[in-house]
Structure 1
Amino acid sequence: MPPRAPWPPRHAVISGGSSGIGLAMAQALAAQGTGLTLLARDPARLEAAAGAVRAAAPGVEVATQPCDIRDAEATARAVAAAEARAPLDLAVACAGVVRAGGFADLPAQAHRELMETNYFGVLNLLRPALGPMRARGAGRVLIVGSAAGLAGFWGYSAYAPTKFALRGLAEALRAECAPDGVSVSIGHPPDTETPQLAAERAERPPQLVAIAATAPPREARAVAAALLAGARRGRADVPVGALAWALLRLAPAVRPAVDAWFDRVAARAGRG
């Protein structure tokens, strides 16, 4: 069933809205007249981001709700406050963290922390957002996954499973929410130039550095535009870039070749 929510959305909530892809989506939506509620942990960074969006789109309402999406109750309160201001047409789950490193080198706590933010944080946002949308019979959800949720890469044993989990969640929610007029999309972006990527580069092992060098990172603005275009069309999956498209659309036919290629790249880097 095609989504019945308006586009551009009248009101959208975005977790991780203070920087990176989340901020780029906020800017793109505000330019179309969408009212926004931005969620992030750091109140100062959140307000600075909101100020930048307001300056670029005068007259558009941009509210902020500082919260940690790992806290289910705080996130539910933030979403309820957003819904009280104006019904939500779009919920974007963009907040996420990454730790890079070999499986033997990363502590078990790193795996738990990434799952708490990248998976359960999305659950904490969507549980309060979906209820009103389904009751109204209209809405859109956009989950920001990763190309690392389509194939496991060397050095992403903590990160990739969180994005694989989001794929399963998105597929189940799509099936459940479609009869209620709510579309659920998940995006699969590659490396994107964001503050988080800049920080992650410092801890990448040589194998992951070599693998990442095979595809240049994309600009956050371009990734945001591609993800929003997919959500507007109600697409279940939104791959960004040729590799993500191939892994999504041609798998499993291309997976053996892709795995063999990246194994060779990683092996050379490990010997280096």
Structure 2
Amino acid sequence: MTLLARDASRLADASEVLRAEHPEARVGLVALDVADPVAVAAGFARAERLAGPVDFAVACAGAARAGRVEDLSPAVFETLMTVNYFGALNLARPALAAMRGRSEADGEGPRGGRILFVGSAAGLMGLPGYAAYAPTKFALRGLAEALRIEAAPEGVGIHIAHPPDTETPQLVAERHERPPELAAIAGTAGAWRADKVAEAMLRGVARGRFDIPVGATAWAMLRLAPAVRPLVDVWLARVAAKARG
């Protein structure tokens, strides 16, 4: 296993936790910025040198900011797209190339591999207060859909998870930015523990699912909401109006 992230000290902390829980695990660490495609490609190559061919890549780096569109600077929109979309793309490109290359080199048909994108329930439906965040996750789902078809001939599985609010330090910081209508809507679903989200995502990958909604709310947003979208929009508008007073 190799962890790629920007903060070297947090990488070290994560490594200690993993080794404590799984003493037999070999954990490699590579500090890099996912927004730098050259650095990510080099980091992926190093991961393969450290631990051998990567057969499961998880693009989970992300950032979130909340606020009404007129209150957020253009730099916020650009930063979120750079991290959430291009950061995932920067990992997917070398990962997919490596998985495809192994399939072609062995001459025995597809060997496969899996790439998991960590999207968001906010990538299934635009919500007030998420004008900067939600579009990045919509874009990520579009990328996953395209790669799913491209990668199929080589037997490479593409997956995208749609988790709800997850209890992390990032969520704690972002909650203070939420306008009342977003806080009210998000409050109807509650938040999940990070380990439970991870377990649900891994179950979905093991079952070969492309879309992996985490929790009943995300499942309803993915499977039911498109069929009754006018009613959902009415409900969202009422909740938002009540929150604004």
TM-score if structure 1 supplies the norm length? 0.85
Q: Structure 1 residues 130-139 or 151-160, which shifts more?
A: 130-139
Superposed, which structure 2 residues align to 1:9-158 within 5 Å?
36-85=1-50, 86-136=52-102, 137=110, 138-158=112-132
Distance in 2, Cα, partners of 1:261 & 1:250: 14
- Structure 2: gaps spanning 5 or more residues: 103-109
Distance in 2, Cα, partners of 1:256 & 1:54: 50
Q: What is residue 242 of structure 2 aligned with on the other side?
A: 268
Q: Structure 1 residues 101-110 or 245-254, which shifts more?
A: 245-254
SS at match of 1:98: coil
Distance in 2, Cα, partners of 1:38 & 1:263: 41
SS at match of 2:199: helix
Instruction: Return the match for 1:211 from 180, 185, 188.
Output: 185
Cα deviation for residue 96 of structure 1 reads: 0.2
What is the identity, as a one-letter code, of the residue corresponding to 1:159? Y
What is the identity, as a one-letter code, of the residue corresponding to 1:112? E
Q: What is residue 145 of structure 2 aligned with on the other side?
A: 171
Are 2:167 and 1:193 aligned? yes
Identity of aligned residues (%): 60
Aligned-residue CA RMSD in angstroms?
1.0
SS at match of 1:124: helix
Q: Deviations over 1:149-204 (max 9, x none)?
A: 00001100000000000111000000010110100000001111111101111111
- Structure 1: gaps spanning 5 or more residues: 1-35
SS at match of 1:97: coil
SS at match of 1:104: helix
What is the identity, as a one-letter code, of the residue corresponding to 2:236? F
Q: Which is richer in helix?
A: 2
Cα deviation for residue 255 of structure 1 reads: 2.1
Q: Which has the higher contact order (CA 8 A, sep 6+)?
A: 1
Distance in 2, Cα, partners of 1:237 & 1:63: 29
Aligned length: 236
Q: What is residue 221 of structure 1 aligned with on the other side?
A: 195
